[in-house]
Each structure stands twice: as structure tokens, then as C-alpha cells.
């Protein structure tokens, strides 16, 4: 072989070797980046699932506390306990105590049934508005109604945020 052929052959082998190493570095870098993305997305998913679990738990706690109070209020009106009938006496509605009790228990049931939770939420919020008005008419501070309303609203929002979206009810996942 002559000197020119050997030089060309050496340059070609060097360029092949350089291309091979640069390709290997690129492949390793790509592998590294994809593994970092995989771990980052896994970590992000873990944080989101923990946050979602935390939100749902707080939502359930708030919702259960508020609906338990309303349920027992309805039950006590249903059995005509005098302390439960006192606010209705002040509003001259004591004769409707049985119906108010049935309504309170029914609204709580509608709220917790998955197929009627959307309707139950809106009816329960409306009923809490009536409680608010009744407390104002009795000359008392409407703090219990505000607390119940906030607990129902925030609890439901944390439990089922899809309920507050504009999608049709059929696309909402009930939990």
C-alpha cells in the first residue's frame, strides 16, 4: 500500500471510531435522560396521588361531620325531642317538625348515594341557606349555618372536584 492509501484508511478508521463513540455517548445520554424522566414522572405521580388521598380524606371528614349534624338534627325532630323543636317554635313552624326532620334525613341520604350525590349536594346547600335565613329571622347569629355550609361545600369540593366542573353528570365518577 502506498502512503496516501494508508493515510486515507487511517482517517476513515478514526472517523468511524469517533462516530461510534459519539453515538455511544448520545445513546447513553438518551438513556440517562429517559431514566431521569421516568423517575421524575413516577415521583410526580406519587406526590399527586398522596395529595389526592389527603384531599379526599379531608373532604370525607368535613362532609361526614356536617351531614352527621344534619342527620341527627332531622332524627331528633322526627322523634319530637323538645330541644330540637325549640327553633321551629320560635319560627312558628313546630307543626311541620316531622316534615322538616324527614327532609333533613332525606337530604343527607340523597347526598351520600352515589347516583344522586349531585342533586343531594345542591339540595343540601339550598337547605343550609334556609337554615341561615331561619337563624337570622330568630335574631341569632347565623354561625352554625355558615359552618355547615362551608363544611359541605369544601368537603364536597375536596372529595369530588368533578362535581364542580361543567361536564354533564353522566361523565362524573362517583366515589
- CA distances in angstroms from 154 to 66, 128, 171, listed in the order given: 11, 14, 21
> Quick count: other Cβ atoms within 10 Å of Cβ 147?
14
Among the listed residues 125, 150, 151, 172, the one whose alpha carbon sits nearest the alpha carbon of residue 62? 151
Asked if the structure places residue 31 within a domain, the reply is no
Angle between helices 97-112 and 82-90 (to 10 degrees): 110
Q: Which residues span the domain enclosing 79?
A: 56-175
Q: What is the pLDDT of residues 9-26, one digit of tens each?
A: 555 545 555 555 555 555
Q: Which of 36-40, 71-75, 115-119, 127-131 has the lowest mean pLDDT?
A: 36-40
User: Has residue 174 got a pLDDT over 60?
Assistant: no
In the chain, the number of structural domains is 1
Among the listed residues 86, 91, 95, 83, the one whose alpha carbon sits nearest the alpha carbon of residue 132? 91
Asked if the structure places residue 27 within a domain, the reply is no
- Cα Rg, the chain, nearest whole Å: 33
Q: Which three cell numbers stand for residue 17?
A: 471510531
Q: What is the pLDDT of residues 46-61, one digit of tens each?
A: 655 666 788 889 999 9
pLDDT band at 160 (very low <50, low <70, confident <90, very high): confident
Asked if the structure places residue 44 within a domain, the reply is no
Among the listed residues 86, 88, 83, the one whose alpha carbon sits nearest the alpha carbon of residue 103? 88
156 with 163: CB under 8 angstroms? yes
**Is the pTM higher than 0.75?**
no
76 with 84: CB under 8 angstroms? yes
Q: What is the pLDDT of residues 71-83, one digit of tens each?
A: 999 999 888 888 8
Asked if the structure places residue 148 within a domain, the reply is yes
pLDDT band at 123 (very low <50, low <70, confident <90, very high): very high
pLDDT reported for residue 105: 95
Asked if the structure places residue 37 within a domain, the reply is no
Asked if the structure places residue 39 within a domain, the reply is no
Asked if the structure places residue 107 within a domain, the reply is yes
128 with 73: CB under 8 angstroms? no
Amino acid at each position: 500500500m502506498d502512503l496516501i492509501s494508508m493515510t486515507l484508511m487511517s482517517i476513515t478508521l478514526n472517523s468511524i471510531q469517533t462516530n461510534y463513540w459519539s453515538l455511544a455517548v448520545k445513546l447513553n445520554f438518551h438513556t440517562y435522560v429517559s431514566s431521569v424522566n421516568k423517575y421524575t414522572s413516577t415521583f410526580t405521580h406519587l406526590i399527586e396521588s398522596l395529595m389526592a388521598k389527603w384531599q379526599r380524606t379531608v373532604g370525607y371528614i368535613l362532609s361526614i361531620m356536617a351531614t352527621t349534624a344534619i342527620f341527627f338534627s332531622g332524627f331528633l325532630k322526627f322523634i319530637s325531642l323538645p330541644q330540637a323543636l325549640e327553633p321551629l317554635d320560635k319560627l312558628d313552624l313546630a307543626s311541620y317538625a316531622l316534615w322538616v326532620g324527614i327532609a333533613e334525613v332525606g337530604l343527607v341520604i340523597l347526598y351520600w348515594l352515589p347516583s344522586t350525590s349531585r342533586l343531594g349536594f345542591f339540595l343540601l346547600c339550598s337547605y343550609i341557606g334556609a337554615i341561615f335565613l331561619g337563624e337570622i329571622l330568630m335574631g341569632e347569629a347565623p354561625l352554625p349555618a355558615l359552618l355547615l355550609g362551608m363544611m359541605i361545600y369544601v368537603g364536597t369540593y375536596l372529595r369530588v372536584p368533578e362535581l364542580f366542573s361543567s361536564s354533564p353528570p353522566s361523565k362524573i365518577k362517583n366515589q
